[in-house]
A and B are shown apart, each in its own frame.
Chain A
Amino acid sequence: MNIIVVGLNHKTAPVEIREKLSFQPQLLEEAHKRLLKAPGVTEGMILSTCNRVEVYSCVNDIDSGIREVKGFLSAFHNLPLERFEEHLFVCSAEEALKHLFRVASSLDSMVVGEPQILGQIKDAYQTSCKYKAAGVILNKLLHRAFSTAKRVRTETKIASSAVSISYAAVELAKKIFGSLEGKVVMLVGAGEMCELAAKHFMNSGIKDIYVTNRTFERAEKLAEEFKGTPVNFNEFQHTLHKVDILLSSTGATHYIIKPEDVTEALRARKQKPMFFIDIAVPRDIDPKVNDIDNVYLYDIDDMQGVIEANVKGRSKEAEKAEGIIAEELMVFIHWLKTLDLTPTIVGIRERGEEIRRKELEKALSHLNGLSPEQIKVLESLTSAIVNKLIHNPIVALKTHAKDHYRDMYLEAARNMFNLAEKEKIETEELEE
């Protein structure tokens, strides 16, 4: 049994290719069905987000499995393989497991530590279960991945540090203003990024949010959402002096905030510092604004730089996370190895022998004065019973060793003979 992953993500493929290969939610049922029809593919899960399309599958043979999954991607999207093969990445066995653990722990994300990806994997797994594409191995694997992600989140600071742009903006504002209590934030234009940042600022005790937009209704709606104040777009420059932090993301093609606007506002507010964050492309705020005393301007690239600096500072945390992943990987690989025919049969035999010996000893301690022959008879009697009892299960395991039910039988046998006691407890812990 082998686990492989075939796919592409923000590191290997540009967005034009990623969007061509992404799976629409309503097509996932069909996709899972067709994936499982590929010869040698026993289990499968499709992870499709805006940054990645990855197909995780269990296959009988690695090389033919990879070929099949590639063929599936090409056929399903009606796209010749040559068009996207160079952007595909492929890994198998331990590498594939490690990849999944890293993705789930958000170490492979564009913004390392962002929490969304775990939810996306959970959805993908649920979908796969719903269409009966996930079996024993993927079940176990995904639960391991979730617990790994949980450990990484709680045991390292990867997730809690300033990772997203909006979080970084708040941190930066704190270095400028000390505390954000009583400060006024203004949103110019409305983008998702801006709104997210506004939410972060809301949680740090700011006094008010001004919202302005070319269409006043939109400003009103947003202001209502944030319990803020809508401002008319044509005269927002006149309220600038009341604003401490300004987030801008309009679609304007020219600068809408110029140095003279800012100088005037500063005079009116007695030179109290101002912090501008320009998320728009092309930019909304004249870069010369940064040259004015007591004014700090960051554009989207500068913010990206802040995040990178944070990431560098957290390389130690990332190392810790990789350590956790390695640990969890070992636990899973150990389990995967036991899920082989030979160790299972040996385990069943050992379990039978163990019970036989224990019970025999108990009986012998009550029976005094048995001759060596009589003891021999008891020995062979008990052996015969145990062997007969475990004979059929072992035959069943061997019969199914080569078909689709193999892992199910193995897992069932391990549970029935209590060979997997330890692993079972671990799994239960995960599911709470």
Chain B
Amino acid sequence: MLFYITLFLYLAATAGYISYLITLKKPISLISTSILIVSFILHAAVITLRYPELGHPPFIGIETLSFLAWAIVGIYLLVEWRYKVYVLGSIVSPIAFILLLLTVIIPEGELHVPSYLRSIWFPLHVGFAFLGNAIFSLACAAGIMYLIQERQVKGHHLGGIYKRLPSLEVLDEINEMCLFIGFPLMTFGIITGFIWSNAVWKTFWNWSPRAIFSIITWLLYATLLAGRLSVGWRGRRAAVLAITGFSIMIATYFVINIIWGGHAFK
């Protein structure tokens, strides 16, 4: 029941943010934010209540989508509070809604939790990785907006889209902030992954596609971070890299995790 209320509230927040996008009326954005905060809290309750029922943290199988949605919304709320970019809400709330909806639609097969997932390192590994993913998803959304807005300003088309999107500087700052916070989280996720792997299989590295793509994404973000700090990569280039990084991450998640069934554990 609580689950469906949460789902409905995400839909309501989506409608709210989109009508704000159209009307640009301040009170609508405030209402939408309030709805989103309530759904975020309810969602936390849903996840917590389901924990004992599942007997494992929400990091396995379809439950991961629910956790990912929750993390994205939480980080978005922080970004909104800091930068007042309500427009981003009209991307984040439908994503949260769809992710949560998928957990109902996609049939969950009989899930037996193998013993190697019971290690303490596993939830740490996945927890960090997911928080990183959530943050990079926002960097990606901000990046898309940056590219659109940059096109408007450079092309001298200053119409409705231009008016509704935040300034280029704010979008680039969000990108930067997400990188500064997301990268360490992702790094922790990978390190704990090594430790977990070592604890279970007595080897730090296995050649699973998941692990390989994670390292590729990590290298990409590392390059962006280095470029930003040293020669001032920013704006368009940073936006494109953030979008590329997240696309690889999403592709890895869906193709490998859902279709191939997680890491190719031997």
A273-B231 in contact (CB<8A): no
A272-B232 in contact (CB<8A): yes
Shortest Cβ gap from B33 to chain A (Å): 21
Shortest Cβ gap from A301 to chain B (Å): 9
Q: How far is A290 from B153 in the complex, measured between Cα atoms in Å?
A: 10
Interface string of A296-330 (1 = CB under 8 A from B): 10100010011001000100000000000000000
Shortest Cβ gap from B153 to chain A (Å): 6
Interface string of B94-127 (1 = CB under 8 A from A): 0000000000000000000000000000000000
Given A174-B167, A175-B168, A178-B170: A270 in contact with B232 (beta carbons within 8 A): yes
Which of B60-68, B155-163, B202-210, B245-253 is the contact stretch?
A: B155-163
Q: Provide the residues of chain A in CB contact with B163, threshold 8 Å.
A: 313
Q: How far is A293 from B235 in the complex, measured between Cα atoms in Å?
A: 8
Given A175-B153, A176-B153, A296-B153: A306 in contact with B158 (beta carbons within 8 A): yes
Q: Provide the residues of chain A in CB contact with B168, threshold 8 Å.
A: 175-178, 273
A306-B156 in contact (CB<8A): yes
Q: How large is the interface on B (under 10, 10 to 19, 20 to 34, 35 or more residues)?
A: 20 to 34
Q: How far is A270 from B176 in the complex, measured between Cα atoms in Å?
A: 15
List residues of B (136-182) whose CB comes within 8 Å of A's CBs.
Answer: 149, 153-154, 156, 158-159, 162-163, 166-170, 173
List residues of A (262-317) whose CB comes within 8 Å of B's CBs.
Answer: 269-273, 290, 293-294, 296, 298, 302, 305-306, 309, 313
Q: Provide the residues of chain B in CB contact with A272, threshold 8 Å.
A: 232, 234
A294-B158 in contact (CB<8A): no
B169-A177 in contact (CB<8A): yes
B169-A298 in contact (CB<8A): no
A309-B159 in contact (CB<8A): yes
Q: From B156, B234, B236, name the one whose CB has the most chain A CB atoms within 10 angstroms.
A: B156
A294-B156 in contact (CB<8A): no
Interface string of B209-240 (1 = CB under 8 A from A): 00000000000000000000001111111000
Q: Provide the residues of chain A in CB contact with B149, threshold 8 Å.
A: 175
Which of B167, B232, B237 makes the CB contact (< 8 A) with A175? B167
B158-A271 in contact (CB<8A): no
Q: Provide the residues of chain A in CB contact with B235, threshold 8 Å.
A: 271, 273, 293-294
B169-A273 in contact (CB<8A): yes
Q: How far is A270 from B173 in the complex, measured between Cα atoms in Å?
A: 15
B236-A178 in contact (CB<8A): no
Shortest Cβ gap from B168 to chain A (Å): 5
Q: Provide the residues of chain B in CB contact with A309, threshold 8 Å.
A: 158-159
A419 CB–B CB distance under 8 Å: no
Shortest Cβ gap from A181 to chain B (Å): 11
A172 CB–B CB distance under 8 Å: yes
Residue of A nearest to B162 (CB): A175
- How many residues in A have their beta carbons less than 8 Å from beta carbons of B? 22
Q: How far is A101 from B156 in the complex, measured between Cα atoms in Å?
A: 34
Q: Provide the residues of chain B in CB contact with A172, threshold 8 Å.
A: 153, 158
Q: How far is A313 from B24 in the complex, measured between Cα atoms in Å?
A: 14
Shortest Cβ gap from B256 to chain A (Å): 34
Q: Provide the residues of chain B in CB contact with A178, threshold 8 Å.
A: 166-170, 173
Q: How far is A296 from B236 in the complex, measured between Cα atoms in Å?
A: 13
Which of B162, B173, B231, B236 makes the CB contact (< 8 A) with A294? B236
Q: Provide the residues of chain B in CB contact with A302, threshold 8 Å.
A: 156
A298-B162 in contact (CB<8A): no
B231-A305 in contact (CB<8A): no
Residue of B nearest to A174 (CB): B167
Shortest Cβ gap from A278 to chain B (Å): 12
A271-B153 in contact (CB<8A): no
Q: How far is A293 from B239 in the complex, measured between Cα atoms in Å?
A: 12
Residue of A nearest to B232 (CB): A270
Shortest Cβ gap from A13 to chain B (Å): 30
B159-A271 in contact (CB<8A): no
Shortest Cβ gap from B239 to chain A (Å): 11
A177-B234 in contact (CB<8A): no
Q: How far is A109 from B225 in the complex, measured between Cα atoms in Å?
A: 51
Given A176-B168, A176-B169, A177-B169: A296 in contact with B233 (beta carbons within 8 A): no
Residue of B nearest to A302 (CB): B156
Residue of B nearest to A162 (CB): B158
Shortest Cβ gap from B189 to chain A (Å): 30
A293-B231 in contact (CB<8A): no
Which of A176, A294, A305, A313 makes the CB contact (< 8 A) with B234? A294
A-B contact pairs, 28 of them (CB 8 A): A172-B153, A175-B153, A175-B162, A175-B167, A176-B153, A176-B168, A176-B169, A177-B167, A177-B168, A178-B166, A178-B169, A179-B169, A269-B232, A270-B231, A271-B231, A271-B232, A271-B233, A271-B235, A272-B232, A273-B168, A273-B235, A296-B154, A298-B156, A302-B156, A305-B156, A305-B158, A309-B158, A309-B159
Having A290-B154, A294-B235, one finds 19 other A-B pairs with CB under 8 Å, namely: A172-B158, A175-B162, A175-B168, A176-B153, A176-B168, A177-B167, A271-B232, A271-B235, A272-B232, A273-B168, A273-B235, A293-B235, A293-B236, A294-B234, A296-B154, A302-B156, A305-B156, A306-B156, A309-B159
Q: Considering the complex of A and B, which 10 residue pairs feature the smallest CB-CB distances, nearest first?
A: A270-B232, A178-B169, A271-B232, A178-B167, A302-B156, A175-B167, A294-B235, A178-B170, A309-B158, A177-B169
Name B residues whose Cβ lies closer than 8 Å to a Cβ of A.
149, 153-154, 156, 158-159, 162-163, 166-170, 173, 231-237
